[in-house]
Amino acid sequence: MSLDHRLTAEHEELRRTVEEFAHDVIAPKIGDFYERHEFPYEIVREMGRMGLFGLPFPEEYGGMGGDYLALGIALEELARVDSSVAITLEAGVSLGAMPVYRFGTEEQKQRWLPKLCSGEALGAFGLTEPDGGSDAGGTRTTAVLDEATGEWVINGSKCFITNSGTDITELVTVTAVTGRKENGTPRISAIIVPSGTPGFTVAAPYSKVGWNASDTRELSFSDVRVPAANLLGEEGRGYAQFLRILDEGRIAISALSTGLAQGCVDESLKYAKERHAFGKPIGANQAIQFKIADMETRAHMARIGWRDAASRLVAGEPFKKEAAIAKLYSSTVAVDNAREATQIHGGYGFMNEYPVARMWRDSKILEIGEGTSEVQRMLIARELGMDA
């Protein structure tokens, strides 16, 4: 494959469009939403009108006919300004709509994708459980098929689910144990649960350290009944399907992490020119110059990493290892750059009115969500043939 990860004219036009939107529309408003822990519905609607939620999907389902690289470009530019908005897009596309597109029947795609692609509705991905964490294969939520009514009866709970409780959340795809294999291991399936289904309870939003303008909730299912036709993909293949979705999602999270890392460079450059100490801009000091040079280097290498993984995915080549590498490195870089940007800003870096304070708070979850850094190292080692 080509190692040239420079953008095509079409992708560069998308990048500039999203960059302009992020700076002109999101930047002036998002701080207030963040402080109020409020979901920015109007911004999300505008993102929908721009076609961002439909970027990697075919036009026949209401998408833009783009690819995963296009989604990553949009996520990076959004996250340069704010990660709450970026994660809303990332989860809505790669975790909400993508499972339906990858594994759904034609009827399921026609029913759900047009609204998800337009941003009129959001989907969520119900994998993590209170006792599950990284061990998603230890799912305890169950779904039993009631032969008499032709319905799945679901019981259990999920936690840390993004986009699961907004006013425009349309569905949550959940993993549940639907039986046992001959060796006694669970058969895990994926089932679509529409919002508002009786017995499906959405808890109040979490009080979080960061991503305060995004929606994250715990979900519970008490004898929730949905049609048998809501099974997504093959019965017993839900866990394998979601692993594929997570492989792709790591590329998207890597692009988001890169955006946050680059946003820290942007803000630090601006501050270093404006802030004076001892009669000169602090950017005239070599110590500050070296910090920012290192930050830019890290962001640049993270960008190459996620674009490489995305290019492999788009080309239909194996990408699992590259996605794990990109996710591991870019999330580490985001945390490092956020720490340095806060240090460059001094006391002002601890004030919420400055974007770097938001970036500092938002960065840590990137080393945890969609596979911890430890899990990424396990995946990379396994791909190198070191599986136990």
Residue 158 φ/ψ, nearest 5 degrees: -135, 155
The Cα 203–Cα 375 span in angstroms is: 28
Amino acid at the residue 104: G
Element (H, E) at 222: strand 216-227
Listing DSSP states for 334-345 in one string gives HHHHHHHHHHHH
Element (H, E) at 7: none
- Contact between 22 and 78 (Cβ < 8 Å): yes
Residue 163 φ/ψ, nearest 5 degrees: 65, 20
The Cα 267–Cα 198 span in angstroms is: 47
| DSSP 8-state secondary structure symbol assigned to residue 119 | T
351: which residues sit within 8 A by CB, 6+ positions away?
357
User: Which three-class secondary structure state does DSSP give residue 121?
Assistant: coil
286: which residues sit within 8 A by CB, 6+ positions away?
none
The Cα 137–Cα 129 span in angstroms is: 10
68-79 and 286-314 helices, crossing angle to 10°: 160
Nearest one of 127, 162, 352 to 244, comparing CA atoms: 127
The Cα 159–Cα 203 span in angstroms is: 10
List residues with catalytic annotation. 370
350: which residues sit within 8 A by CB, 6+ positions away?
342, 357
Amino acid at the residue 348: Y
Query: How many residues comprise the chain?
Result: 388
Q: What angle do CA 301, 380, 175 make, to 5 degrees?
A: 110
Question: b/e string for 47-58 if b means 16 or more Cβ within 10 A?
Answer: bbebbbbbbbbe
